[in-house]
């Protein structure tokens, strides 16, 4: 099977590439051009994985680039996106260009090429603050940040192309993925790297929101599952991928400190806070639909996942990639 992956060089994308290769697929990976000839986290994958990966320079914002990239692909995993919520307040148009127009280009190429399966990546952020928990796929969506608004738009484009043109699309909606290779813009790497480099003081935003954290290998296996499941089980559906368990950011910080053997104190910083009406207070998933139609379930509990993430980030070869004191948008 030839699987094409946009956003392949990123955190989740690189793990999806790895999971696909280990499942037996040949992978074509779109890599966003840069003058350093860097291929993101793909550069760190093992040679036996990379031997099954064809890397193609491209940009989802460019219609022709996407159309050529998707030639002969049996399944397209569309992960390319701008994802940092704080930066979306500063440059919302760039999120529209990448997240909305980029998704439109993928869907239109799939229509023209008659691609057998397209997996569009959503996010739990589209739900906004939970109106009921656990959150299933019937929960209303609410754009509480420019980022989440663009992801809602992308989800609705996928829905429209499936209903209008019969494009075989499935939309996967992961809940708060974490693990090795994640940016320190995310809360778990931010806590770990600050504790690894400092004296127990953690610069952080609000401690009260709760999240459903899913280890990255579980998220990657969810992508593989929806990409390979029978069409009648998944096509046209939106499917949550999460653990169904929540933890507050404050409790998470203390748990990480305990695992690292460090007494933790929090220092709330204004620049790390979202605007009041933009903060998402509570996210916890109901992933029973995904389990029922694919058999997927998360295999890594939070403590084990945190231990693996801590081990990766505290390895000096990995920690050196990060600026531990700066706030990353």
Q: What is the mean pLDDT of residues 194-202?
A: 86
* pLDDT surpasses 90 at 225: yes
Lowest mean pLDDT across 41-55, 211-225, 262-276 = 262-276
Query: Which pLDDT belongs to residue 280?
Result: 86
pLDDT in tens, 2-32: 999 999 999 999 999 999 999 999 999 999 9
d(CA 170, CA 274): 31
Which stretches of the chain are DSSP H helices? 11-22, 47-50, 63-69, 85-90, 92-95, 102-113, 146-165, 187-197, 216-228, 231-234, 249-260, 288-294, 302-313, 316-319
Q: Within 10 A of 113 (CB to CB), how many other CB atoms are there?
A: 14
Percent of the chain with pLDDT over 70: 95
DSSP per-residue string spanning 2-56? EEEEETTTSHHHHHHHHHHHHTT-EEEEEE---TT---GGGGGS-HHHHTTEEEE
CB proximity list for 263: less than 8 A, separation 6 or greater: 200, 257
pLDDT in tens, 74-101: 999 999 999 999 999 999 999 999 999 9
Q: Would you list the domain boundaries of the chain?
A: 2-178+215-241
d(CA 227, CA 75): 7
d(CA 70, CA 127): 30
pLDDT tier at 268 (50, 70, 90 boundaries)? Answer: confident
> Do residues 20 and 3 lie in contact, with contact meaning Cβ atoms separated by under 8 Å?
yes
d(CA 311, CA 305): 10
Exposure string for 166-202, b = 16+ CB within 10 A, e = fewer:
ebbbbbbbbbbbbbbbbebbbbbbbbbbbbbeeeeeb
> Do residues 176 and 309 lie in contact, with contact meaning Cβ atoms separated by under 8 Å?
no
Q: Which CATH class is domain 2-178+215-241?
A: alpha beta
pLDDT in tens, 131-174: 999 999 999 999 999 999 999 999 999 999 999 999 999 999 99
Query: Which pLDDT belongs to residue 93?
Result: 98
pTM (predicted TM-score): 0.94
Q: What is the mean pLDDT of residues 56-60?
A: 97
What tokens were used for 137?
Answer: 């796929």
End-to-end CA distance of the chain: 37
Assign 285 to helix, strand or coil.
Answer: strand
Query: Which pLDDT belongs to residue 327?
Result: 53
Q: Mean pLDDT, the chain, as a whole number?
A: 94
Q: What is the mean pLDDT of residues 204-219?
A: 94
> Do residues 96 and 88 lie in contact, with contact meaning Cβ atoms separated by under 8 Å?
no
């Amino acid at each position: 099977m030839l699987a094409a992956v946009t956003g392949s060089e990123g955190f989740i994308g690189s793990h999806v590439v790895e999971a696909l290769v280990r499942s037996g697929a040949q992978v074509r990976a779109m890599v966003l051009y840069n003058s350093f000839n860097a291929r993101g986290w793909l550069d760190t994958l093992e040679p036996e994985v990379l031997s099954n990966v064809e890397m193609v320079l491209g940009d989802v914002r460019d219609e022709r680039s996407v159309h050529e990239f998707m030639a002969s692909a049996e399944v397209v995993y569309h992960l390319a996106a701008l994802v940092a919520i704080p930066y979306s307040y500063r440059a919302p148009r760039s999120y529209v260009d990448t997240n909305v127009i980029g998704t439109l280009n993928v869907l239109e190429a799939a229509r023209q090429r008659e691609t057998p399966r397209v997996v569009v990546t959503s996010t739990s952020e589209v739900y906004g603050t939970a109106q009921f928990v656990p959150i299933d796929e019937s929960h209303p969506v609410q754009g509480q940040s420019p980022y989440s608004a663009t992801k809602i738009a992308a989800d609705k484009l996928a829905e429209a192309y499936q209903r209008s043109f019969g494009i075989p699309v499935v939309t996967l909606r992961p809940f708060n993925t974490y693990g090795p290779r994640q940016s320190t813009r995310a809360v778990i790497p931010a806590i770990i790297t600050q504790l690894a480099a400092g004296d127990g003081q953690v610069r952080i935003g609000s401690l009260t929101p709760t999240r459903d954290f899913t280890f990255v290998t579980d998220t990657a296996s969810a992508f593989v599952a929806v990409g390979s499941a029978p069409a009648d089980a998944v096509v046209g559906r939106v499917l949550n991928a999460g653990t169904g368990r929540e933890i507050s950011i404050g409790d998470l910080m203390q748990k990480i400190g305990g695992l690292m053997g460090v007494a933790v104190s929090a220092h709330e910083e204004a620049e790390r806070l979202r605007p009041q009406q933009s903060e998402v207070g509570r996210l916890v998933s109901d992933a029973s639909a995904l389990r029922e139609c694919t058999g997927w379930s998360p295999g890594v509990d939070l403590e084990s996942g945190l231990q693996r993430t801590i081990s990766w980030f505290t390895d000096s070869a990995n920690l050196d990639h990060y600026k531990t004191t700066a706030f990353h948008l």
